[in-house]
Amino acid sequence: MNSTKSKVSKLAENIIGSEIIKLAGEVNEKIKQGEKIYNMTIGDFNPKEFPIPVELKQYIVDAYFDDQTNYPAADGMLELRNAVSNLLKERGELDYKNDEILIAGGARPVIYSIFKALVDEGDTVIFAVPSWNNNHYSYLNFAKSVVIEAKPEENFMPSAKDIAPFIQDATLVALCSPQNPTGTVFTKEGLNEICDLILAENKRRGPDKKPVYLMYDQIYWALTFGNTKHYNPVTLNPEMKAYTVFVDGISKSLSATGVRVGWSMGPKFIIDKMKAILTHVGAWAPKAEQIASAKYLSNLDMYDAFITKQKESIIARLDGFYKGFQTLKNEGFKVDAITPQAAIYLTIKFDLHGMKTADGKVLETTKDITKFILDEAKLAVVPFYCFGASDNSPWYRMSVGTCNVNDIEAVISSLRNALKKLS
């Protein structure tokens, strides 16, 4: 028998699958075995708690009954691009024509095509951690990653001063606000300073050199809470329109993660290249879902009413857990949480390194702590090292889109009982 080890590409040999999906798989296996687990790992919505708009659901059904099951237009159905253009103008303070918008099957193909359109092998990509998947997309492009470890005292958002030392070598700056995994946002001043930095660098390079571009992921922009305001680089500084490519869609705002309708907007020549790339990938949003989304987004009163209720339901959970963690902190337990600002995530802290369990086991690593919280408190959350942060970071993402509001008290009580076992 030939014992020669089978070979794959260098890319495939070294690729790392989603750490979050792997963790969620392990949790789901425990649930299958009959364990009661509060699973707050995946950035998703439980349809029983957060259904998509009833009108959107009906429009999708109608489109399938109308036999809208063939290929959609390569750049997205015109009626949807028109509806997105109007939504952005009326609610997002952004002016993009339908030929500056590309529809895709969610945010992932959009991000993939942005990287492929702008980043060559060896190019420098700047991003902060924790953040969602920038490290993996950089790897897929054989790019050089410049990783900025964002600080909790700055709500885990990078600053211009963090980026400045690396900007002269950069091709792409990848930013997200509201941020996944932290649920925090850029301040107006903070984002403005980054825009000024990018514009100054592009003036320095001149027209004959490849500019530094900004990928701005704002998929959660409709989900801000209280006095928190979402800012985007193009509205803040119109000069940034030439260098900014957005990531957006309905996945999060409408609880429609499985509907797979996302989009990008940016300079037409970049959007055209992204379109060409996706024609070879086939990562289109299904035609029926596009037609339904166009119809739904064309009624902004209906959209506004849903978003209002959506935000109320999310903040009830975020605030409930935040207050619960503050109660535990005040009781003397080594936990904390950052005030929720946006998205469906609460940034929480388990500062438990070095503590001992009841049977004398020392929690030496973040993996030890994660396992302890899962086994003893029956709570599954995602450590920030899954988002590129250091292996010993005590910070975690808690995703509230899958839980019932009545779970809050039970989770906090379960955590309290587990933490009491540590010394």
Superfamily covering domain 10-50+305-419: Aspartate Aminotransferase, domain 1 (3.90.1150.10)
pLDDT tens digits, 364-406: 999 999 999 999 999 999 999 999 999 999 999 999 999 999 9
Topology agreement, domain 10-50+305-419 and domain 68-299: no
Q: With CA atoms as reference, report the closest residue to 343 among 141, 44, 1.
A: 44
Give the CA count within 13 Å in the CB-facing half-sphere of 363. 23
Count how many residues are written for the chain: 423
Whole-structure pTM value: 0.95
Q: What average pLDDT does the segment 248-277 reach?
A: 97
Residues pairing with 170 in the sheet: 124
Q: What is the CATH number assigned to the segment(s) 68-299? A: 3.40.640.10
**Is pLDDT of 156 > 80?**
yes
pLDDT tens digits, 312-328: 999 999 999 999 999 99
Show me where the domains of the chain are located: 10-50+305-419, 68-299
Omega within 30 of 0 (cis) for the link into 53: no
